[in-house]
Chain A
Amino acid sequence: MKGSEAIVKTLIGSGVHTTFGFPGGAVIPLFDEFLRFEGKIKNILVRHEQGAAHAADGYARASGKPGICIATSGPGATNLVTGIMTAYMDSSPIIAFGGQVSMSLIGNDAFQEADMMGITLPITKHSFQIKKANDVVPTILKAFRISAEGRPGPVYIDLPKDCQVGEVTKEAPKKVDIPSFKPVYRGNINQIKKAADMILAAERPVVIAGGGTIIANAAKEVTVLMDTFMIPTATTIMGKGIIPEDHPLAIGQVGMHGRKAANYAVINADLVMAVGCRFSDRITGNTSSYAEKAKVIHIDIDAAEIGKNIEVDVPIVGDSKSVLSDLIVVMNEKLKKKTETEWSKRMKELNQLCRCNMDSKKEPIEPKKLLFELNRILKTDDIVVTGVGQHQMFATHFIDRMKPRTFITSGGAGTMGFGLPAAMGAKVAVPDTNVFDIDGDGSFLMNIQELATLKEENIKVIPVVFNNSYLGMVRQWLEIYYSKRYSQVKLGRHSDFVKIAEAFGLGGIRVEKPAKIQDALKESIRSKETMVLDVYVEPESNILPMLPPGGHLKEAFGGCMNAKGVFF
Chain B
Amino acid sequence: MTQQHKHIISMLVEDEPGVMTRISGLFARRGFNIDTITVGKTQTPKVSKIVITVKGDDRTVEQIEKQVNKLVDVFKTIEMKDDESVTRELCLVKVSLSNEKAKTDIMHYAQVYKAPIVDITPKSAIIQLVGKPQKNDAFLELMKPYGIKDISRTGTTAIQRGGNGEK
Contact status B21-A180, CB under 8 Å: no
Contact status A121-B69, CB under 8 Å: no
A302 at the interface (CB under 8 A from B): yes
0/1 interface trace, chain B 47-74, chain A, CB 8 Å (1 if under) = 0000000000001001100110111111
Contact status A180-B14, CB under 8 Å: yes
Instruction: Name the CB-closest residue of A to B76.
Output: A180
Contact status A180-B22, CB under 8 Å: no
> How far apart sit A118 and B24, CA to CA, in the bound complex (Å)?
12
Contact status B66-A304, CB under 8 Å: yes
Chain A proximity of B9: nearest CB distance (Å):
14
Contact status B74-A303, CB under 8 Å: no
Contact status B29-A303, CB under 8 Å: no
> How far apart sit A540 and B57, CA to CA, in the bound complex (Å)?
46
Contact status A308-B72, CB under 8 Å: no
Known A122-B29, A304-B63, A307-B63; contact A181-B21, beta-carbon cutoff 8 A:
no
By a CB distance below 8 angstroms, the chain B residues around A129 are 17-18
A125 at the interface (CB under 8 A from B): yes
439-480 of chain A: CB within 8 A of chain B? none
Chain A proximity of B2: nearest CB distance (Å):
13
Contact of B69 among A122, A125, A179, A304 (CB under 8 A): A304
Contact status A118-B14, CB under 8 Å: no
Contact status B63-A180, CB under 8 Å: no
B113 at the interface (CB under 8 A from A): no
Chain B proximity of A121: nearest CB distance (Å):
6
B25 at the interface (CB under 8 A from A): yes
Contact status B14-A304, CB under 8 Å: no
Contact status B22-A121, CB under 8 Å: yes
A566 at the interface (CB under 8 A from B): no
B75 at the interface (CB under 8 A from A): yes
A216 at the interface (CB under 8 A from B): no
Known A304-B63, A304-B66, A308-B63; contact A181-B18, beta-carbon cutoff 8 A:
no
Contact status B70-A146, CB under 8 Å: no
Contact status B25-A122, CB under 8 Å: yes
> How far apart sit A129 and B22, CA to CA, in the bound complex (Å)?
14
By a CB distance below 8 angstroms, the chain A residues around B74 are 180
Contact status A302-B70, CB under 8 Å: yes
A126 at the interface (CB under 8 A from B): yes
Instruction: Name the CB-closest residue of B to A127.
Output: B18
58-83 of chain A: CB within 8 A of chain B? none
A178 at the interface (CB under 8 A from B): yes
> How far apart sit A117 and B67, CA to CA, in the bound complex (Å)?
19
Contact status B21-A121, CB under 8 Å: yes
> How far apart sit A129 and B73, CA to CA, in the bound complex (Å)?
14
Chain A proximity of B57: nearest CB distance (Å):
13
> How far apart sit A308 and B21, CA to CA, in the bound complex (Å)?
23
Known A180-B14, A180-B75; contact A304-B21, beta-carbon cutoff 8 A:
no
> How far apart sit A179 and B71, CA to CA, in the bound complex (Å)?
12
Contact of A118 among B21, B63, B69, B72 (CB under 8 A): B21
Contact of A125 among B63, B66, B72, B75 (CB under 8 A): B72
Contact status A303-B22, CB under 8 Å: no
16-30 of chain B: CB within 8 A of chain A? 17-18, 21-22, 25, 29
The range of chain A's interface size is 10 to 19
> How far apart sit A117 and B21, CA to CA, in the bound complex (Å)?
10
Contact status B72-A126, CB under 8 Å: yes
By a CB distance below 8 angstroms, the chain B residues around A303 are 66, 69-70
Chain A proximity of B52: nearest CB distance (Å):
17
By a CB distance below 8 angstroms, the chain B residues around A118 are 21
By a CB distance below 8 angstroms, the chain A residues around B18 are 117, 121, 127, 129
> How far apart sit A125 and B25, CA to CA, in the bound complex (Å)?
13
Contact of B72 among A117, A122, A181, A304 (CB under 8 A): A181
0/1 interface trace, chain A 169-192, chain B, CB 8 Å (1 if under) = 000000000111100000000000
Chain B proximity of A280: nearest CB distance (Å):
15
> How far apart sit A118 and B59, CA to CA, in the bound complex (Å)?
28
> How far apart sit A448 and B28, CA to CA, in the bound complex (Å)?
37
By a CB distance below 8 angstroms, the chain B residues around A304 are 63, 66-67, 69-70
Instruction: Name the CB-closest residue of B to A303.
Output: B66
> How far apart sit A178 and B17, CA to CA, in the bound complex (Å)?
16
By a CB distance below 8 angstroms, the chain B residues around A307 are 59, 62-63
By a CB distance below 8 angstroms, the chain B residues around A127 are 18
By a CB distance below 8 angstroms, the chain B residues around A121 are 18, 21-22, 25
Instruction: Name the CB-closest residue of A to B26.
Output: A122
By a CB distance below 8 angstroms, the chain A residues around B63 are 304, 307-308
Chain A proximity of B105: nearest CB distance (Å):
49
> How far apart sit A237 and B155, CA to CA, in the bound complex (Å)?
46
Contact of B73 among A180, A302, A308 (CB under 8 A): A180
> How far apart sit A122 and B27, CA to CA, in the bound complex (Å)?
12
Q: B13, B14, B62, B70: which has the most chain A beta carbons within 10 Å?
A: B70
Instruction: Name the CB-closest residue of A to B65.
Output: A304
390-429 of chain A: CB within 8 A of chain B? none
Instruction: Name the CB-closest residue of B to A180.
Output: B75
Chain B proximity of A13: nearest CB distance (Å):
22
0/1 interface trace, chain B 75-114, chain A, CB 8 Å (1 if under) = 1000000000000000000000000000000000000000
> How far apart sit A126 and B21, CA to CA, in the bound complex (Å)?
12
Instruction: Name the CB-closest residue of B to A305.
Output: B66
By a CB distance below 8 angstroms, the chain B residues around A122 are 25, 29
> How far apart sit A179 and B12, CA to CA, in the bound complex (Å)?
12
Instruction: Name the CB-closest residue of A to B46.
Output: A179
173-232 of chain A: CB within 8 A of chain B? 178-181
Chain A proximity of B144: nearest CB distance (Å):
40
Contact status B75-A179, CB under 8 Å: yes
Contact status A146-B72, CB under 8 Å: yes
Instruction: Name the CB-closest residue of B to A155.
Output: B72
> How far apart sit A303 and B71, CA to CA, in the bound complex (Å)?
12
Task: List residues of B whose CB falls within 8 A of some A CB.
Answer: 13-14, 17-18, 21-22, 25, 29, 59, 62-63, 66-67, 69-75
- A and B contact pairs by CB, cutoff 8 A, 23 listed: A118-B21, A121-B21, A122-B29, A125-B72, A126-B71, A126-B72, A127-B18, A129-B18, A178-B72, A179-B75, A180-B13, A180-B14, A180-B72, A180-B75, A303-B66, A303-B69, A303-B70, A304-B66, A304-B69, A304-B70, A307-B59, A307-B62, A308-B63
For the complex of A and B, 6 pairs with smallest distance between CB atoms: A304-B66, A126-B72, A180-B75, A304-B67, A181-B72, A304-B70
Task: List residues of A whose CB falls within 8 A of some B CB.
Answer: 117-118, 121-122, 125-127, 129, 146, 178-181, 302-304, 307-308
Known pairs A118-B21, A126-B73, A308-B63 / 17 extra A-B pairs, C-beta < 8 Å: A117-B18, A122-B25, A122-B29, A126-B71, A126-B72, A129-B18, A180-B74, A180-B75, A181-B72, A303-B66, A303-B70, A304-B63, A304-B67, A304-B69, A307-B59, A307-B62, A307-B63
